[in-house]
Amino acid sequence: MSGSINVFEDELARVVRPDLFRPVPPNDRDLSEHLQAITTDVHRNFPEIQFTEIFFPIESEPALQFEGFHRTAEQKDELLNVYVDPATGQILGTTDRFFWLSRIRDLHVRLLSGRTGLIVNGYGAVLLLILALTGVVVWWPGSLRWRRGFRVDFRRKWSRINFELHSALGIWLFSFVLIWAVSAIYFVWPEAFVSLLDRFTPTRESVHPTVVASPSPNGLFPVETFMIKAEALKPGYRVLEVVLPSEKHDPLVVVVAPNGSFRRATHLFFDPGTGSLLRTWQRGNAATFGGAILPWLADLHFGESWGWPIKTLWAVFGLVLPALAVTGAVMYWNRFLAKKWRRLARLNKFR
């Protein structure tokens, strides 16, 4: 259910926080010319936050967004997003991990329990995969009656309707459940997943590369310097995101694309101290089957890349999981627990 809500996270955020998504007046000035002043102002207003990413305005999200965190005394990261009007530099507002949409996302991904919840969620995805695969075997009614497994006869008694509803939902949406389980496993254990896939089809080279930069004693060049370099290397492309180095050997990454979409964006890795280009990598540009699978796993899990009709479909289909859980629990009661309950009731009656 949390996944179905997360599909419409952007739309819900616009409704509950319209101040962060109000139309931004057109700005004839180049944003890169004023980014340093805006960045300085954001740091002055939030000195305790270590900002790690800057998202640049796109049509669906017209604000300039700074994403960062504050490490508490308990060594926990308190997340914060700061939204800025790119035309005026005015800070529009903030959201943190206690924003209710952020809490739902955290519930879906980490069960509100950090790294531990993420791992538990991963094992849950493994169990879901096992249930989906064994469910197909249990569902198979035989070569002569297999068509009946796709239907629900509402004229039968309620326990039979529950059984047929569980079976029909499971087989009709089996591929979706399979995709959600496999992609969730990949999100939790990406290295192990890629290593396994790499045994069957070359995959490693299509994964977001790990690039090591040399530590600079002079600090970081201005961010707009890297933006200008990226736009010169990729004429006609627009900057979508800048990933700032958080460790001393991290590169600075500028993400650019010609159409404002992250699906096939190009990542330019720069040495933050010297300003030199270290590597170029394009998401989704894979020459192998394994390399093509990984970007699709993310797209198919979230269903956010093809507009609101597909998002609506994904949100509705996502509700099949709680439906399967409820009908499966009722089946377990009817077949096992009810018999034990009646047996215990008879024993207590004759004591």
Quick one: average pLDDT of 137-145? 87
Of 233, 286, 288, the C-alpha closest to 255 is: 233
pLDDT in tens, 143-169: 888 888 899 999 999 999 999 999 999
Quick one: average pLDDT of 54-60? 85
pLDDT in tens, 256-286: 998 777 777 899 999 988 889 999 988 766 6
Give residue 75's pLDDT: 57
Domains belonging to the chain, first-starting first, are 2-110 (no CATH), 209-282 (3.10.450)
Quick one: average pLDDT of 194-205? 82
Query: Is pLDDT of 173 > 70?
Result: yes
Least trusted range by pLDDT, from 30-34, 126-130, 324-328 = 30-34
Query: Is pLDDT of 193 > 80?
Result: yes
Instruction: Choose between 349 and 222: higher pLDDT.
Output: 222
Query: Is pLDDT of 220 > 80?
Result: no
Residue 108 · residue 146 · CB < 8 Å? no
Which ranges of 30-113 does DSSP label H, i.e. alpha helix? 31-45, 100-110
Coil, strand or helix: which one is 67? strand
On the 0-12 / 13-18 / 19+ scale of CB atoms within 10 A, 309 is exposed
In angstroms, the CA 10 to CA 14 distance is 6
Over pLDDT 70: what percentage of the chain?
92
SS3 assignment for 306-319: CCHHHHHHHHHHHC
